[in-house]
Amino acid sequence: MLLNHVAAGFCWVDPPQPDRNHKTRLASSPFRRRLVAPTSAAFHGVRMEKKDRKRRSICTADELHRVVVSNSDWKLALWRYLPSPEAPLRNHPLLLLSGVATNAIGYDLSPESSFARYMSAQGFDTWILEVRGAGLSTIGDSLEEDDECLKNLSEIDSAIRDEIGKSSASPARVMGFKDLGSPEVITKFEEMRLTRRLMDIFTRISENLAGFLNPDLLEGGKNSAIVGQIKDFNRRLRAIIEGQQLFPAQILELQDRFSTTLEEFQKQLQLIVKYDWDFDHYLEEDVPAAMEYIRAQCQPKDGKLLAIGHSMGGILLYAKLSRCYSEGKDSGLASVVTLASSLDYTPSRSSLKLLLPLAKPAQALNIPAIPVGPLLATVYPLASYPPYVLSWLNSQISAQDMMDQKLFEKLVLNNFCTIPAKLLLQLSSAFQEGGLRDRSGTFLYKDHLCKINVPVLAIAGDQDLICPPEAVYETVKLIPEELVTYKVFGELGGPHYAHYDLVGGRLAADELYPCITEFLIQHDML
């Protein structure tokens, strides 16, 4: 059960593929297809994975790109949604930034409720950035292992779906196994492959677990009693598994699934000890790397991008504008839309204050990260089913009747990741006098918004408990009046908009998306 919760917090496996012919609600004029420029030499080592329609995958975009962050081991994931050939040609690509501890899924919940696909249908070459630690972004040399793991998951689940849908094709035949309903066994080669895979995973988990419990063990403690006990456990387990006769096919299928789950857990365990970054890492390294890569791919004539940020994504855009104009630099942004974002939460009663007591104790105890995704997955049944002990959590995400229950469940179980303690500690400065600061505590991001020259559309939800309208306005009032547009969505008698309704609520495509599109088109001029 614990492993399932950890996996759920990391990513969503095998979503339904979007309908490329899904019609948008806005009429569009003829479109001249944008030619995608060849990748520049600077990105020679960056991988781009085109979607295989026969393969189910976590990524529901048209393309999955990965970009290396300079001076780090991170490879960031960029989900790309190609512009519709029926929409007008746009001058600038569009970058979408997600909130804290979330991945790209929130922008593409389903074909009928997809912020990203709506924007691509309007002609925008749309990119979602997954910052370090989120979604499909990877660290070190784990990319090939991740892809192999996802492929195995995909093949198994596709086979099971085929069996359900067509009685003539069994998972065993699709996977190359013999009939799973018979007592027959599969080949010795397949058994050896799975056994070897299982043991390799256990070995990696044990080594990382030892390092997590005591970092010194991996350096000079090879004779440690703890390491010895773990290695002894591995030896005993290997002897038990290798001593078995050929497994029935049903057992090997379970072993394959168990191995895949353990792989995901091992990756999470390996990663959690490396959760050593803060907000400024996103601002100074991840976002610039993504923007440079998108510029190289799309080559806008003026070198600028359009950008939309939800929650922390909008905070990143505000901070980038502030930092650039404090240093006299061009931000590279043609216009910005923020959804439920602020640099200063002090005048509001934001529920994020509930997380503040976790920041300093986590720092004092040297806890590297807080697993928000697994925690939400664990408590979700208590919030959504009788006796509804934690039902108050639902309103933090979506207002009543504003999100389909299945999409709401998908969002909760698959959109959230893990928060590094350093990130939480820096973000907590947004609740202090002066608002959000850099890691040194000397640079206040809100102090320089009065100097910007980029148009901004700031949107708030009337029942947003995380970033209430008064918090949004606290930042809006600092921007030159001729450059900023401020809108609050929601009516006195309903419907209402909570934090995630601004992205995936059932009325967003009718009421909110067109407002954003109109603003972007207005400022898409060269």
Q: Which residue has the tokens 């990965």?
A: 66
**What are 188's two structure tokens?**
């010795």
**What are 64's two structure tokens?**
């999955």
Three-state DSSP class for residue 41: helix
**What are 158's two structure tokens?**
């596709």
The domain spans of the chain are: 63-140+277-349+436-523
Burial 13-32 (b: 16+ CB within 10 A, else e): bbbeebeeeeebeeeeeeee
Neighbouring C-beta atoms of residue 52, cutoff 10 Å: 9
C-alpha dist (Å) from residue 290 to 282, 294, 447: 10, 6, 26
283: DSSP letter: I
Q: Which amino acid is at 307?
A: A
The string of DSSP letters for 441-492 reads: S--BGGGGGGG--S-EEEEEETT-SSS-HHHHHHHHTTS-TTTEEEEEE--T
Three-state DSSP class for residue 185: strand
Q: Which of 281, 262, 149, 148 is nearest to 203 (CA)?
A: 262
Q: Which residue has the tokens 């779906």?
A: 161
**Cα–Cα distance between 278 and 310 in angstroms, integer?**
18
**Cα–Cα distance between 194 and 152 in angstroms, integer?**
12
Q: Which amino acid is at 332?
A: G
285: DSSP letter: I
Low-confidence ranges of the chain (pLDDT < 70): 1-57, 141-273, 355-367, 387, 389-390
Neighbouring C-beta atoms of residue 4, cutoff 10 Å: 15
The CB-based long-range contact list for 439-445 (8 Å cut-off, 24+ gap) reads 439/278, 439/279, 439/280, 443/323, 443/326, 445/318, 445/319, 445/322, 445/323, 445/343
Say if CB 294 and CB 37 are below 8 A apart. Answer: no
C-alpha dist (Å) from residue 215 to 142, 201, 218, 311, 359: 21, 20, 6, 34, 22
Q: Enter the CATH code of domain 63-140+277-349+436-523.
A: 3.40.50.1820
The pTM score is 0.70
Bridge-based pairing of strands 305-310 and 333-339 is: parallel
| The total number of residues written for the chain in this structure | 526
**What are 159's two structure tokens?**
């086979």
Three-state DSSP class for residue 165: helix
Residue 511's pLDDT is 96
